[in-house]
Copies of this chain bind each other. A is one copy, B any other.
């Protein structure tokens, strides 16, 4: 699989422009004072389906040729990628087949079926997901859209950082959380193309530090059994995203659960916006490493707003 180049990001941005929100960049003097630096928050929590994932899913769906599109798209996911793919497919008027574990949160099930996707239920194991998806794909001919290890998805996710830099100039640092690395690799491609002196730093929960260990050892590490409140970051890097991360990312910082929860609450209280736990991980890394960020202008992509209001971590 090829790594997307800058031209692919430019094409993706043009392709998805009519479908995705150009989300605002917000600032908070109160949080800047606490952090000791200037933070620029790109609010993908305001994106359609409440997450940046809609960018990549939309790009992937629009890139299908008519024959493939007619057979629909498929994926397995219990999270934001499922809802994103469901809506992107509905927008093009094609079918989305989503394999979901029976244990997925009620609110995610409702979102996915609300967008008209066909849900196939499976047991909550990776094996069950993958074998069920294989059956769905072979019986329907649908195209599998991987949530992150996918050329079109990465190119789409890369457009968030493009808008951030267009709006704010060249920050010293751009930060995103890392799970499977789709947003991180897209962001890295964009940042290094638009503003070569800007550093790209990822943030990861200590309790799901596989990307950190892959980055340090140079050998792709599998995800450990998930144990973090940041439920969007449980996956491990894929071969494609790992290649981009090794080439372009400057550093990965790990943070504890409590620091993530405190950072999430700080955004809710000070900025009056709702972000999900995964979105709080970069701010947590800043607050936990103030010396590293002192005096910088640092852009942070707030990845999503689909917090479970019945199970808040604070």
Interface size class of A (residues with CB under 8 A): 10 to 19
Contact between A305 and B45, CB atoms less than 8 A apart: no
Contact between B305 and A272, CB atoms less than 8 A apart: yes
Q: How far is it, in angstroms, between the C-alpha of A310 and the C-alpha of B265 when the chains are bound?
A: 11
Q: How far is it, in angstroms, between the C-alpha of A46 and the C-alpha of B265 when the chains are bound?
A: 16
Q: How far is it, in angstroms, between the C-alpha of A272 and the C-alpha of B271 when the chains are bound?
A: 11
Give A28's nearest chain B residue, CB to CB: B46
Contact between B50 and A272, CB atoms less than 8 A apart: yes
Contact between A309 and B265, CB atoms less than 8 A apart: yes
Cross-chain contact of A274 among B46, B268, B310, B314 (Cβ < 8 A) = B268
Contact between A312 and B314, CB atoms less than 8 A apart: no
Flag A257-292 by CB within 8 Å of B: 1 or 0 each.
Answer: 000000001001101111100000000000000000
Give A43's nearest chain B residue, CB to CB: B272
CB of A190 to closest CB in B, whole Å: 24
Q: How far is it, in angstroms, between the C-alpha of A24 and the C-alpha of B46 when the chains are bound?
A: 14
Query: Which B residues are CB-close (under 8 A) to A24?
Result: 24
**Contacts known (A309-B312, A309-B314, A312-B309); A272 close to B273, Cβ less than 8 A:** yes
Cross-chain contact of A269 among B268, B271, B272, B309 (Cβ < 8 A) = B309
Query: Which B residues are CB-close (under 8 A) to A46?
Result: 271-272
Query: Which B residues are CB-close (under 8 A) to A268?
Result: 274, 309
A43-62 CB contacts (< 8 Å) to partner B: 45-46, 50
Query: Which B residues are CB-close (under 8 A) to A265?
Result: 309
Query: Which B residues are CB-close (under 8 A) to A309?
Result: 265, 268-269, 312, 314
CB of A266 to closest CB in B, whole Å: 11
CB of A46 to closest CB in B, whole Å: 6
Flag A29-47 by CB within 8 Å of B: 1 or 0 each.
Answer: 0000000000000000110
Q: How far is it, in angstroms, between the C-alpha of A312 and the C-alpha of B309 when the chains are bound?
A: 9
Q: Which A residues form the contact surface with B (CB < 8 A)? A: 24, 45-46, 50, 265, 268-269, 271-275, 305, 309-310, 312, 314
Ordered by A's residue number, 13 sampled pairs between the chains whose C-beta atoms are within 8 Å are: A24-B24, A45-B272, A46-B271, A46-B272, A265-B309, A268-B274, A269-B309, A272-B273, A272-B274, A273-B274, A309-B314, A310-B314, A312-B312
Q: Given contacts A45-B272, A309-B314, A310-B314, could you give 10 more A-B pairs where the C-beta distance is less than 8 Å?
A: A24-B24, A46-B272, A265-B309, A268-B274, A268-B309, A269-B309, A272-B273, A272-B305, A309-B312, A312-B312
